[in-house]
Amino acid sequence: MDFSTVNWLAVIVAAVVAWLFGAVWYMGLSKPWLKAAKLDPATMKRSVAPFIVSFVAEVIMALVMTLVVGAITGGEPNPLAGVIFGFMLWLGFVATTLSANHRYQGFGWDLTLIDAGHWLGVLLIIGVVIGWFGAPAAPAG
């Protein structure tokens, strides 16, 4: 892997925008998500850890997406390629994993749809941002 091709500004911006999307997504779906996840807000512990873990995960996703889209497009990512690869990575890894895990954990499809929808939005957003920013500028010299 050639990390010199990573547009680090794009990675950080993509992660921030994806994280903000998640905040809006789950605020809007908090009641159905709590019900589907079988959680009672009155007994839940409050912690910032899940928010930090989510952001770190989205930075890693953006980095991987940059490497994948950059490699597939010959180092010239674009928004369409980002959307296509974001969707394909979601379909191949996220949707399948959540579907299987939630069945083993005894959760209903409502939780799977809420969580999978969130991660689809995250990967599409990351893909668009990575593609929109494009490759890093060549060093002057």
**Does residue 39 carry a pLDDT above 80?**
yes
* Residues 6+ away with beta carbon under 8 Å from 25: 117, 118, 121
- Quick count: other Cβ atoms within 10 Å of Cβ 78? 16
Q: What is the pTM of this model?
A: 0.92
Within a 10 A sphere around the Cβ of 7, how many other Cβ atoms? Answer: 20
Tokens 């997504």 -> residue: 25
Kindly tell me if the per-residue pLDDT of 100 is higher than 80.
yes
- Percent above pLDDT 90 for the chain: 82
Number of Cβ within 10 Å of residue 133's Cβ equals 19
